[in-house]
Amino acid sequence: MNILCGCGELARCQTSWTENNPARRFLGCPNFMDPTTNCNIFQWADAPLPNHWYQARIYELHLHMRNAQEQLIQVNNQNSQILF
Ligand SMILES: [Zn+2]
């Protein structure tokens, strides 16, 4: 689904990874956080998680996954510097 925002960009489906709305999809303009634009498209696609416990667990899992990805990148960089 393509919707043209008031700023001229196409809105797209994105996923929020904030602490309050982890893994929650929304339709939004790429510039909706920019106060200098005339963006008028932001709409949640998913219902909120049922309670704070779920929000906290999903957010923690997201942080663990992100840390694991960063560690993997570091290990890969270290391995690429090893000369055989
Ligand atoms: Zn916009």
What is the full per-residue pLDDT of the chain (84 aa) written as tens digits? 678 998 999 999 999 999 999 999 999 999 988 889 878 889 999 999 999 999 999 999 999 999 999 999 999 999 988 876
The rounded Å distance from CA 17 to ligand 1 centre is 20
The rounded Å distance from CA 75 to ligand 1 centre is 39
- SS3 percent helix, strand, coil of the chain, rounded to 5, is 35, 25, 40
Predicted local confidence at residue 15, as pLDDT: 96
Using alpha carbons only, give the angle 40, 62, 33 rounded to the nearest 5 degrees: 20
The gap from C-alpha 77 to its chain's centroid, in whole angstroms, comes to 25
Ion ligand 1: residues, Cβ under 5 Å:
5, 7, 9, 29, 31, 39
Q: Model's pTM, two decimal places?
A: 0.77
Predicted local confidence at residue 1, as pLDDT: 67
Q: How many domains does the chain have?
A: 1
The rounded Å distance from CA 14 to ligand 1 centre is 14
Range of the domain at 63: 3-81
Predicted local confidence at residue 84, as pLDDT: 65
Predicted local confidence at residue 81, as pLDDT: 87
Q: What are phi and psi of 4, to 5 degrees?
A: -85, 125
Nearest CA to 59 among 26, 22, 24, 16?
Answer: 22
Predicted local confidence at residue 32, as pLDDT: 87
